[in-house]
Amino acid sequence: MKSIILWLTFGILTNPTCSEVFGWREWWKGTVIYQIYPRSYSDTDGDGIGDLKGVINRLDYLQDLGIETIWLNPIFESPMKDFGYDISNFTDVDPIFGTMADFDDLIADMHSRGMKLLMDFVPNHTSNKHMWFQRSRECNDSSNLYMDYYVWADMKQGCVESDQNSHDKCVPNNWVSRFGGSAWEWDTKRKQYYLHQFLKDQPDLNFRNREVQEHMKDVLRFWFDRGVDGWRVDAIRYLFEDVLLTDDPINDDFYPQPNHQAQYNSLVHKYTADLPEIHPIIREWRAEVFDKYSSLGNYRFMGTQSYGDAKTLGLYYGTEENPEADFPFNFQMIKISPESVSGFEVYRLIHDWITNIPDGAWLNWVFSHHGKDRIANRFGEQNHRAAVLLNMLLPGTPNVYYGEEIGMTNIEVKFEDIQDPWGKNNPCCWKELNRDKVRSPMQWDIGVNAGFSTANHTWLPVNQNYKHAINVQVQLEDSFSTLRFFKKTLQLRKKFPAFRTNTLKYSFVSYEVFSFWRIPDEESVSSSSFLIAINFSNKSIKADYVKHFMPADVNLNTTYGRIKISSSMTRDEEIVDLKMLHLSPGEALVIQSYAIRTKTRRDFKHDLFYCFIYFMCCIHYNESKFDSN
């Protein structure tokens, strides 16, 4: 009874206002980064491909949703072999997307709304149509100013020019391209091989060349001068390769598949990825460019894109003395599959990241992007809202891929229709690798092409589920829709101090449920805390969150709570007893309650219990892994 009274009083007394707690240098901590794949967002000129004007037209929608930061995939001049990641001119806009004037309009419009724009910086490679490459291939002679702009190598000793097609025999070494096949391509003009970690149309820049380094800093400056607020740095782990061109070791854990070309995973990329020389380059970008521009009063953000284990990725934060990225994008959640998803697996991946990155480093989460399955396909449709909620309410900065706010799903593409070079080059594994499936046009309404374009033919097919409520228009009108759910979650995130900390407290109740507390930093009686509980299983689960209230340095002052958000949106504002909380299959709840941090040392009894639960979950996890093999 005492707890109920406390709870009810608390509900009335506390109505925290949303104050801007992050300083101007930290705006990227309080924001949500919304990723727009511009080809697929909104087409205004009727060519079936999205453009910059299309993005401008949708700013009202984004602002109303509560989005403050947009990351745009590349819009630079490009032959589009890798849909913009093959850049032929770093300082102009490709006509497919519009003009520089459109870009200036976009940024002006965004800034007038207090929004920030991040762009995609692609330092590792250019298009083979870039002037630097055209000049570089002219001759291998010091009179050629561009001679060393790319990574060139002779054919193996004993080979003659007519052998050049016989890759296995004559290529400089065994390095494999990320997109399949040898990483070397013969150039008939220069009569040497050039390196490409991606497509042969994307030759790798030679980052050991000082001029290349300087040019790339100028690219950053060019766009900073136009007002860009920060960058997502593409494919950073490939910036350097071993100067001696040593063969990469064979990966003993790799099982080749029928039909395969030299596959990327057949090697351990010891000499072609994550070389230590990358870090001084990032520090230089930070000190010489980002910090200089930031000192003018608008902090410029840097996020790096790379894959690898959490420890390796954690290095991209740099150190306090030598800072690098504000954060490396965290792809742990991309490792979830419909088969592996469970409360414990989610916990394991989150915990792995948090414990392996530098202490106190700011967190962030990526649940889907332009290269990996959409959330509904990865977590299962039943768990889509649970994953959205997790993304939004875990500590740190959420990254949201366009369309996730309405629950868009992958499209089916036939092999013969694939546009994505990664899918095309890998007949063995195209279903898994092709990225078209997650790049389909944004679903705006129930009109032609889901309101994306008036063209007869869009560059990728529109997912037909737009006719069945997966579109913005219908969902805006439905108070129980995924879009309304997304918006409500985002509002909650912005409103309460508990969601601005960089910490969480796990609360273990079972293998199937992932649950955690968000508690404000201050020992203040007026701030709400939240229990987030998600049931990733197909069965109903009733549990006692008080008995299992793990953290020893936190006091729970009531055993009741008020549901602020439920994934079904039918339980919102219900008062629940945390001692017997019921979750239906796939259900996610955000419960406002009253817990405060204390200065108490960790309690030995709690620690023992924690270890026991962890141990039991590990056994369960290993058994279920074993079962599925």
Of the pair 185, 234, the CB lying nearest ligand BGC is at: 234
Q: What is the DSSP string of 595-609?
A: EEE--PPPPHHHHHH
Q: Count of CB atoms within 10 A of residue 411's CB?
A: 18
Q: Which amino acid would we find at residue 30?
A: G
Work out how close the CB of 217 gets to ligand BGC at its nearest, in angstroms, rounded to a whole number.
Answer: 19
Q: Count of CB atoms within 10 A of residue 479's CB?
A: 10
Q: Quote the tokens at residue 402.
A: 């366009």
Q: Quote the tokens at residue 513.
A: 């449920």
Work out how close the CB of 325 gets to ligand BGC at its nearest, in angstroms, rounded to a whole number.
Answer: 14
- Could you say whether residue 235 binds ligand BGC (CB under 6 A)? yes
Q: Evaluate the CA torsion angle 455, 456, 457, 463 in order and state its sign.
A: positive
Of the pair 234, 587, the CB lying nearest ligand BGC is at: 234
Of the pair 183, 563, the CB lying nearest ligand BGC is at: 183
Residues 419-458 that bind ligand BGC (CB under 6 A): none
Out of 204, 234, 512, 587, name the contact with ligand BGC by CB under 6 A.
234
Residues 181-200 that bind ligand BGC (CB under 6 A): 198
Q: How many Å apart are CA 195 and CA 149, to the nearest integer?
A: 11
Residues 528-567 that bind ligand BGC (CB under 6 A): none
Q: Where are the beta strands (DSSP E) in 205-296?
A: 230-233
Phi, psi (degrees; rounded to nearest 5) at 301: -90, 145
Q: Can you name the residues that pair with 561 across neighbouring β-strands? A: 576
Burial of 495 (0-12, 13-18, 19+ CB in 10 A): middle
Residues 128-147 that bind ligand BGC (CB under 6 A): none
- Could you say whether residue 56 binds ligand BGC (CB under 6 A)? no
Q: Which amino acid would we find at residue 33?
A: I
- Could you say whether residue 393 binds ligand BGC (CB under 6 A)? no
Of the pair 198, 549, the CB lying nearest ligand BGC is at: 198
Out of 11, 371, 427, 461, name the contact with ligand BGC by CB under 6 A.
371
Residue nearest to ligand BGC (CB): 85
Q: Can you name the residues that pair with 327 across neighbouring β-strands? A: 303
Q: Are 500 and 534 in contact (CB under 8 A)?
A: no
Of the pair 198, 347, the CB lying nearest ligand BGC is at: 198
Q: Evaluate the CA torsion angle 91, 93, 99, 102 in order and state its sign.
A: negative
Q: How many Å apart are CA 157 and CA 169, to the nearest integer?
A: 10
Q: Return the closest-CA partner of residue 530 out of 592, 485, 481.
A: 592
Work out how close the CB of 574 gets to ligand BGC at its nearest, in angstroms, rounded to a whole number.
Answer: 42
Work out how close the CB of 554 gets to ligand BGC at its nearest, in angstroms, rounded to a whole number.
Answer: 39
Residues 341-370 that bind ligand BGC (CB under 6 A): 370
Binding mask 72-111 for ligand BGC (x = CB under 6 A): ----------x--x--------------------------
Work out how close the CB of 102 gets to ligand BGC at its nearest, in angstroms, rounded to a whole number.
Answer: 23
Work out how close the CB of 236 gets to ligand BGC at its nearest, in angstroms, rounded to a whole number.
Answer: 9
Of the pair 10, 85, the CB lying nearest ligand BGC is at: 85
Q: How many Å apart are CA 433 and CA 587, to the nearest integer?
A: 31
Of the pair 187, 234, the CB lying nearest ligand BGC is at: 234
User: Binders of ligand BGC: how many residues, by CB under 6 A?
Assistant: 9
State which H helix or E strand residue 583 sits in. strand 581-583
Out of 72, 87, 119, 122, name the contact with ligand BGC by CB under 6 A.
122
Contact residues for ligand BGC (CB under 6 A)? Answer: 82, 85, 122, 198, 234-235, 305, 370-371
